[in-house]
Structure 1
């Protein structure tokens, strides 16, 4: 858990501690402990849950691919044309879909493939390659001393504040002290929700008055985190429409203000995206990245969407690492992103093992 962070900073194992319960208003409480290191029998159940939660995306991409290939005797242009349409409508995006298609054509020609079923393995390998290329161990700019500072951005409604609470719970479970900073001062509900998470996880929340200047609240919060020697500071920010010029200027200002207390901070700018929005999530990612330099992504609501292909699209287009994926409402349903595990779950067969039917 949190290998992208701990391997470079804390270098310690995570103790098996019961997951903190999320706010009752937002989601059901979770009391199941995370799997202890080395307990192999727990891995299948965790994988199965991921497999189940990606069911809608598997239907859109893999099951449709199975139906497309069923009964085909040869790889021809007609098959390529239908495959192109399938990939685009699976929210892989035009550029990514065309790249996958060209890769498939090259492999077919180079390896002299004739069985249409071979295309499925080619696509699986290339999607994994996209994810691995984007999610190589990131060279995080870590502080020589003082807290690790995460600035979290994203539009309203994507699950940003809830994700912050769940990420804070992960750090707490790994033995780190955490300070949450309520930088979204425009919505009293955002401050209240963050405070609920603080109570549930035993984490202090620094906040100002509603409508207070966000930069001032963040400046004071970072100063407190440094003075009290917290290990991690996680900063919530306002989340109006990503097309708002004022919002982007405000986020730029907050980023600068964080650096006044700690020149190397923020060490991570994490963007939270709602996977159900499909290609709009990619547009959001581009605009936020241009404004504040996004270094990591959290993709929420993958369990409720057929648009899981957006994960591969974002990785291919932006080359920004995916840190976490959300596959449910419980605390342990915010999972560290593992490219191999994700692809295995996406391309796996259902337990029923039903055979695909021709399109």
Structure 2
């Protein structure tokens, strides 16, 4: 009998649950007092414990394995004894332990967090033309590494060059140079790449000409033409930024009246560069915008006037006729203008760029080329094909979105980049 049941009427199950198991786990049958109970206070009397143990044994409960979790409540009484070693919890529940901060290498870590310096323009061009160079270089390596330069090998080499958009004429010239004096001989891939770079440079060097502003023509009128998405408006903004840095006064004409976004984009470039922007509402006559811009540029003493035009496909006769009208209006106000007609070409279009040059040269009298989006295309060789066929001056090439990502064209650097030579 216990103090809670002086008559002994409580079932033994309740006694076992409150007595033996309470003793085993160290739990008190009554709410814990203000002070921490000792082990003796938390247990039943010896007779009750024995009676409970006998009853439990008679029912043959499953064996209970005592784990550190079960006996954990008894540990506080060992505080006066030697401190036991802590039990390491399972690895999957261990909290992550932060590594101590490094001492001396800390300076190196902070230095690496600083932004890397921007690569030079031609380094970025080489990176951009890596896809063209990789495709061309791998084809050459696979072809000439283990074969002699017989007629079949040279024919396959020509196919590799044509697939790289170098053009048929250029590819034939390169193959002829490679095969000269080397028939039925082994040749290293690097030697072939060097020959390609040399031939490409010889084609590009005569047309690599910077855009020169004639100071005697004031304003110097530049007409920008090209198909949709080639990058005309962005190129205008970059040139405006560069010329403003040189101290020139620039006026921009928003002649792409088909797209409200083009007008707004040019206004943004005007705010960035400090250039004056002449614009009308969307849908206005583009020739009228050009007329107003020339009048304003003269009145303000501007050095340069750049006229944007709407992108148009080279095979749309009605759109090309509208471009002819813009040119006629310009010439009425200034017979020698436009002083430069720049065709902006997208390098990613490949062979289609050849027909664009033909159409715009016939309609607007193109005087020079700007090649954009060379930073990440496998079709960079198209510039070589255009130079070989049309022999128009190549003024500028672009490899990014920043104002300094548009630079004068240099034949040797481009030839070595496209051939995969450092």
TM > 0.5 fold call: yes
Aligned to 1:46: 121
Tell me how far 1:43 sits from its aligned partner: 11
Tell me how far 1:329 sits from its aligned partner: 2.0
Aligned to 2:174: 100
Separation (CA, whole Å) in 1 of partners of 2:266 and 2:209: 31
Change (3 A) 1:113 1:311: farther
Separation (CA, whole Å) in 1 of partners of 2:131 and 2:246: 32
Separation (CA, whole Å) in 1 of partners of 2:122 and 2:326: 38
Q: 1:65 aligns with which of 123, 129, 140?
A: 140
Separation (CA, whole Å) in 1 of partners of 2:331 and 2:241: 25
Higher relative contact order (CA 8 A, sep 6+): 1
Change (3 A) 1:280 1:145: closer
2:307 alignment partner, SS class = strand
TM-score (norm 2): 0.68
Q: Verify the 8 A CA contact 1:134 1:316 in the aligned structure 2.
A: no
Q: 1:123 aligns with which of 183, 192, 196?
A: 196
2:121 alignment partner, SS class = helix
Larger Rg: 2
Deviation per CA, 1:35-67: give whole Å up to 9, x if none: xxxxxxx99833322221211111122343233
Q: 1:255 aligns with which of 327, 351, 364?
A: 327
Change (3 A) 1:144 1:47: closer
Which runs of no fewer than 5 residues in structure 2 stay unpaired?
1-114
Q: Verify the 8 A CA contact 1:158 1:272 in the aligned structure 2.
A: yes
Separation (CA, whole Å) in 2 of partners of 1:141 and 1:260: 21
**Structure 1 residues 298-313: aligned runs within 5 Å:** 298-313=370-385
Tell me how far 1:304 sits from its aligned partner: 2.2
Change (3 A) 1:246 1:103: farther
For this pair of structures, how many residues does the alignment match? 305
Tell me how far 1:330 sits from its aligned partner: 2.2
- Cα RMSD of the aligned pairs, angstroms, is 2.4
Does residue 180 of structure 1 match 2:228? no
Tell me how far 1:184 sits from its aligned partner: 1.0
Separation (CA, whole Å) in 2 of partners of 1:222 and 1:233: 7
Aligned to 2:418: 346
1:191 alignment partner, SS class = helix
Separation (CA, whole Å) in 2 of partners of 1:92 and 1:194: 34
Q: Verify the 8 A CA contact 1:135 1:320 in the aligned structure 2.
A: no
Change (3 A) 1:98 1:43: farther
- Of 261-270 and 61-70, deviating more is 61-70
Aligned to 2:98: none
Tell me how far 1:325 sits from its aligned partner: 1.1
Deviation per CA, 1:210-265: give whole Å up to 9, x if none: 11111111011011111211111111001122211111111111112111222111
Which runs of no fewer than 5 residues in structure 1 stay unpaired?
1-31, 33-41, 351-359
